[in-house]
Amino acid sequence: MPHTIPAAALRQFIAGKWEDGDGAGLASDNPARPGETVAAGRQATAEQLERAVAAASAAAPAWSAVPMHERGAVLLRAAALLEGSAEELGLELAREEGKTLIEGRGEVARAAQILRYYGNEGDRPAGEVFSSPRRGEQILVVRKPLGVVGVVTPFNFPIAIPAWKIAPALVYGNTVVWKPASTVPLLAQRLAEVLDGAGLPKGVLNLVMGPGALGTELVEHPLLDGLTFTGSTGVGRRLAAAGAGRGVPVQAEMGGKNAAVVLAGADLDLAAEQVMFGAFRSTGQKCTATSRLVLQDSVADDFLARLTSRLQDWSTGDPVDPSVQMGPLVSASAADGVRRGIDEALAGGATLVFQGVLPEEAGDAFIPPTILELPAGQADAEANPAWADEFFGPVLAVRRAADAAQAFEWAGQGEYGLSAAVFTQDVTRVLEAVEGIDVGILHVNSESAGADPHVPFGGARKSGYGPKEQGQSAKEFFTHTTTVYLRGGNPA
Ligand code: UN1
């Protein structure tokens, strides 16, 4: 039983060695079981961060000289190791982060898939050849690593998001200093152990666990050549500004306030299922989660009846129980913030359409699936925090639109522009949505969350800064180019 599992020991990984942190205490707790410590140790100090960056810097020239094919082979071995541990790691993930066991295992499998994609990148083109306007010349665009890259990752995908940053960083020849969210240090350690076990040379990957301040120290470090971040817009912008001040590139994936639009004529059962997944899987803690629902008036009541009837069977509870569909938020304090948001939304005129029930023993980190309908008046709806702000929890804010044009306008409102979902069977409406909703990711007849490793991932406006992640856009961020004008030494 999970209660009897002793807390795992947390360690830092610096210059190829596992060592205790020298800083303050660090522990991760099971948000579903107050008082249960999942992992414990000590934070890294500024001195340990310094050694981590120095190790990454020292390892950089040799690692960039390793053929890309061999760098990819390390990632392919890591993918296989990760797959072999999916059961244990999925359980640890559920205990430390609070997502369900099925989602936890799924995330480990996804991290393996990401490692495999970038592992195979070792065999794909590493640059480009252009023709020259001059005879006897070719132009090569050669890709080179940035050097030492800082990786700062959030709690909500403790293993998949780090994999999709670290894997491209490594295969394109960079070395890494990684600072994970301090709520999920154990899963960070597990991924670092896997990469270490797969044969990464010393110093190529370094892991420092500790407070957010370490992220700032990283980006300000004179030996750091780039930083990739996923998390809140506030922190992302501060890190981006600090990077810009030093002239180093920063890639920041930040918040979302993603809408699902359900139009007349859509398959309402399919839409209800997908909206439920988009809004409530992972307890709504995805930057791609659906938090706005815009319903065409003529189908609104029918759709809400189908959605709420599905949610009646959606149980919230301890995520390691296989019969449970939704676990707690990552912590009681995260849940407090969401509860405050719900109260403010209700005070601002929203009405409660649906709220699931919690088991009696549920602690303070739990919030049931919650659907709020916003006031009909446009100004009141748009000022409502459930419409304007990212709650990062299981809360869906509903509005009714007269037609598709109004629905798309509302779906694209605000400063965020990460993802959207449109449910329709009319291809004309699909084309209007592609043109009319300014988002980085648009799903047609599927939920707003989800990402494949070979295609660009990222948002418009307040949701993203710098090159997008994944696929070939990852190469854009993790490399710079040397354009080589190449002629023979002895032109005719
Ligand atoms: C997904 O939609 O499955 O922080 C992935 C996040 C995103 C990842 C979403 N960067 O939630």
Task: Count CB atoms within 10 A of the CB of residue 213.
Answer: 11
- Ligand 1 centroid to 288 CA: how many Å? 5
Residues touching ligand 1 (Cβ under 6 Å) are 154, 156-157, 161, 230, 253, 286-288, 449-451
The low-confidence residues of the chain, meaning pLDDT below 70, are 1-4, 491-492
- The closest residue, in CA terms, to atom 3 on ligand 1 is 450
Counting ligand 1 atoms within 8 A of each CB, the residue from 156, 164, 183 with the most, and so the one to mutate, is 156
Which atom from ligand 1 is nearest to the alpha carbon of 286? 11
Return the pLDDT at 1. 47
Q: Which residue owns the Cα nearest ligand 1 atom 1?
A: 450
Report the topology of domain 258-444. Answer: Aldehyde Dehydrogenase; Chain A, domain 2 (3.40.309)
Mutate to test the pocket of ligand 1, among 103, 153, 283, 288 (most ligand atoms within 8 A of CB): 288
Give the distance (Å) from ligand 1 centre to CA of residue 141. 32
What pLDDT is stored for residue 165 in this prediction? 98
CA of residue 122 to ligand 1 center, whole Å? 25
List Cβ neighbours of 210 (8 Å cut-off, separation of 6 or more). Answer: 21, 23, 26, 43, 44, 45, 49, 179, 182
Which atom of ligand 1 is nearest to 419's Cα? Answer: 2
Distance (Å) from CA 333 to ligand 1 centroid: 21
Residue from 97, 232, 277, 286 to probe ligand 1 pocket by mutation (most atoms less than 8 Å from CB): 286
Domain boundaries, the chain: 8-254+463-483, 258-444
Contact call for residues 177 and 150 (beta carbons, < 8 A): yes
**Quick one: which atom of ligand 1 is closest to the CA of 253?**
10
Atom of ligand 1 nearest to the CA of 289: 2
**Ligand 1 centroid from CA 299, angstroms:** 29
- Give pLDDT, residue 2: 47
The per-residue pLDDT for range 174-191, each reduced to its tens digit, is 999 999 999 999 999 999
Tell me if domain 8-254+463-483 and domain 258-444 are identical in fold.
no
- What's the complex ipTM? 0.95
For residue 110, the ligand 1 atom closest to its alpha carbon is 3
Q: Which CATH class is domain 8-254+463-483?
A: alpha beta
Q: Name the 3-class secondary structure at 424.
A: coil
Which residue is associated with the tokens 């999916």? Answer: 86
Q: Which residues are catalytic?
A: 253
Adjacent-strand bridge partners of 226: 149
Q: Please, are residues 257 and 278 in contact by the beta-carbon 8 Å criterion? A: no
Identify the pLDDT of residue 347. 98
| Helix locations, 319-393, DSSP H | 332-347, 378-383, 385-388
Q: Whose CA is nearest to atom 5 of ligand 1?
A: 450
Q: Which of 95, 75, 37 is nearest to 199 (CA)?
A: 75
**Paired residues of 39 in beta bridges:** 8, 28
Q: What distance in angstroms lies between residue 43's CA and the mean position of ligand 1's atoms?
A: 26
pTM more than 0.90: yes
